[in-house]
């Protein structure tokens, strides 16, 4: 049985972190078996090395090894890619095609980003794991395959299960053995070692002397967060190797190639939403209420204008109609009304509604209270719209989808409040 050190040398795995060594050790232990393995870890930590180790040390090493990035295949074609299809099963299927599970029979399939699989494909995959059977797209014939599956993901599978994005039974079938790889920020002793290895590789590749960090730059390198993990470290080493004329790299030079923490994109931590996200039912209720109130207020203004003017429908101000309904007067329901329809004047309304001064005072008081409520709702509306636009970086379509209104309505609100 090969040792951890010999396997790391063979697959060019750099570092002596205990968690990394444990992951390699588990891969060596499970390799001779046929049990399914799930590799977990952040993007860029090198998860693709584990399935290669498992395949090369298994009795399937002479069979085919196929790596599939599930997140890179469109949802409409992933079933065809994995399980194959029959001629004429869908538009563009000009011939019968073998899928990966048929091609890799007797070998190993590595499903990277398995958490991105559509639910329908997850059902098919579960059947392969349970009894080794699959059906091509457009076929009714059951086929057998003898494939070992090693999967990898960078998402929290329990969160995905809770949200209904991943099947719980499939998760437990895939994760008979789970191997976790630590992020680079937890392998501080390996960071400089990796950087020197990458610098040496690029010096050889581009035929130039290798770059070297000064002491302050090394300290910064070790304490940097490395959100992109090994992939980010490798890219940074390559950029500096190619672009810098000096081979001695100072702290200032290194910092110029690394995004500062304040400029990095915000991330979801611990499954919690950002503070400006609409995370409560109260905010959603406010949104519905201010939409209804605002539209009702606009409708009142339109009705009042019609009553005062005693206008025909064709004389109605088209800008006001568009403001209320979000479309032009040609598109409104008024098109269905006869062109000679007359809106009654205010004087023609029954006088008894306005004769009682006491009732009139009550009416004015109610209007004042209503206007105050509308003002509060409008303030809440402005606040929510600003938050949504800020969160979506000014993209009106995304903000409208989040607010649950049409993009045209959102555009109208922006103009109305001069945002």
Name residue 142's beta-bridge partners.
135
Would you place residue 328 in the very low, low, confident or very high pLDDT band (cuts 50, 70, 90)? very low
- pLDDT for res 164: 95
pLDDT at 288 over 60: yes
Provide the pLDDT confidence category of residue 368 given band limits of 50, 70 and 90. Answer: low
Q: What confidence score (pLDDT) does residue 122 get?
A: 96
Taking residues 320-325, report their average pLDDT: 52
DSSP code for 106: T
Phi, psi of 195, deg, nearest 5: -60, -45
Q: What is the pLDDT of residue 338?
A: 44
| Average pLDDT over the chain, rounded to an integer | 82
- Number of Cβ within 10 Å of residue 262's Cβ equals 5
Residue 36: both structure tokens together: 């399914």
Return the higher-pLDDT residue of 90 and 19.
19
pLDDT score of 322 = 55
**Would you kindly state where each structural domain of the chain is located, as residue ranges?**
4-182, 185-262, 281-416
pLDDT of 101 above 60? yes
Q: Tell me the per-residue pLDDT of 24-58, one tens digit each, with 9 for 90 and over.
A: 999 999 999 999 999 999 999 999 999 999 999 99
Which tops the pLDDT comparison, 273 or 399?
399
Helix (H, G, I), strand (E, B) or coil at 129: helix
CB 210 within 8 A of CB 240: no
DSSP string, 260-326: -GGGSPP---TTPPPTTS--SHHHHHHHHHHHHHHHHHHHHHHHHHHHHHT-BGGGS-HHHHHHHHS
Mean pLDDT value across residues 369-387: 69
Burial pattern 154-178, b for ≥16 Cβ within 10 A else e, equals: bbebeebbeeebbbeebbebbbebe
CB 79 within 8 A of CB 117: no
Which residues face 40 on adjacent strands? 153, 180
Average of per-residue pLDDT across 282-305: 69
Quote the CA–CA distance of 67 and 46 in Å, as a whole number: 14
- Cβ pair 41, 105 in contact under 8 A: no
Distance from C-alpha of 12 to C-alpha of 14, rounded to nearest angstrom: 6
Distances (CA, A) of 141 to 86, 169, 261, 391: 11, 25, 55, 50
Q: List residues bridging with 85 in a β-sheet.
A: 97, 137
Look at residue 350 in the predicted model and tell me its pLDDT: 46
Distances (CA, A) of 12 to 7, 93, 125, 170: 8, 41, 32, 32
Sign of CA dihedral 295, 299, 300, 301: positive
Average pLDDT over residues 304-317: 59
Tell me if the domain spanning 185-262 has CATH number 3.40.630.30. no
Would you say residue 340 has pLDDT above 50? no
Give the global pTM: 0.62
| Cα of 336 vs its chain's centroid, Å | 44
Per-residue confidence band for 129, with pLDDT thresholds at 50, 70 and 90: very high
- Over residues 286-296, the mean pLDDT reads 69
Q: Is residue 374 scored above 70 in pLDDT?
A: no
Strand 133-135 versus strand 177-180 pairing type: unpaired
Q: What percentage of the chain reaches a pLDDT higher than 90?
A: 59
Do the domains spanning 4-182 and 185-262 agree at the CATH topology level? Answer: no
**CATH number of this structure's domain 4-182:** 3.40.50.300
Query: Which whole number is the average pLDDT over 404-413?
Result: 79
- The yes-or-no verdict on residue 407 having pLDDT over 80 is no
Q: List the structure tokens of 57.
A: 């040390």
> Other C-beta atoms within 10 Å of 152: how many?
26
Is 146's pLDDT higher than 70? yes
Phi, psi of 73 (to 5 degrees): -100, 130
């Amino acid at each position: 049985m090969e040792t951890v050190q010999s396997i790391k040398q063979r697959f060019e795995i750099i570092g002596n972190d205990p968690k990394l060594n444990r992951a390699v050790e588990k891969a060596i232990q499970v390799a001779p078996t046929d049990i399914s393995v799930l590799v977990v870890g952040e993007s860029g930590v090198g998860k693709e090395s584990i399935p290669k180790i498992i395949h090369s040390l298994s009795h399937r090493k002479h069979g085919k090894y196929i790596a599939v990035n599930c997140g890179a295949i469109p949802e409409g074609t992933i079933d065809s890619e994995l399980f194959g299809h029959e001629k004429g099963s869908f538009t563009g299927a000009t011939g019968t095609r073998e899928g990966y599970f048929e091609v890799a029979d007797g070998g190993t399939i590595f499903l990277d980003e398995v958490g991105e699989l559509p639910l329908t494909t997850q059902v098919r995959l579960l059947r392969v794991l349970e009894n080794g059977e699959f059906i091509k797209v457009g076929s009714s014939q059951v086929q057998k395959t003898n494939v070992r599956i090693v999967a990898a993901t960078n998402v929290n599978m329990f969160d995905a299960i809770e949200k209904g994005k991943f099947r719980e039974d499939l998760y437990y079938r895939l994760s008979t053995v789970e191997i976790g790889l630590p992020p680079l920020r937890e392998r501080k002793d390996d960071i400089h070692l990796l950087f020197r290895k990458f610098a040496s590789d690029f010096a050889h590749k581009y035929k130039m002397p290798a770059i070297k960090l000064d002491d302050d730059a090394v300290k910064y390198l070790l304490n940097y967060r490395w959100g992109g993990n090994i992939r980010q470290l490798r890219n940074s080493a390559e950029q500096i190797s190619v672009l810098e004329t000096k081979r001695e790299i100072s702290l200032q030079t290194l910092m110029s190639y690394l995004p500062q923490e304040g400029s990095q994109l915000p991330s979801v931590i611990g499954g919690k939403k950002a503070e400006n996200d609409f995370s409560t039912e109260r905010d959603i209720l406010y949104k519905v209420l201010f939409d209804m109130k605002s539209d009702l207020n606009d409708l009142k203004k339109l009705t009042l204008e019609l009553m005062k003017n005693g206008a025909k429908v064709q004389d109605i101000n088209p800008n006001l109609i568009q403001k209320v309904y979000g479309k032009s007067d040609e598109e409104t329901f008024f098109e269905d009304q006869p062109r000679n329809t007359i809106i009654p004047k205010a004087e023609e309304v029954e006088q008894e509604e306005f004769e009682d001064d006491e009732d009139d005072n009550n009416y004015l008081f109610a209007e004042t209270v209503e206007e105050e409520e509308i003002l509060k709702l409008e303030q809440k509306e402005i606040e929510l719209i600003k938050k949504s636009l800020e969160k979506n970086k000014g993209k009106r379509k995304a903000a409208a989808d989040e607010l649950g209104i049409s993009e045209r309505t959102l555009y109208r609100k922006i103009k109305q409040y001069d945002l």
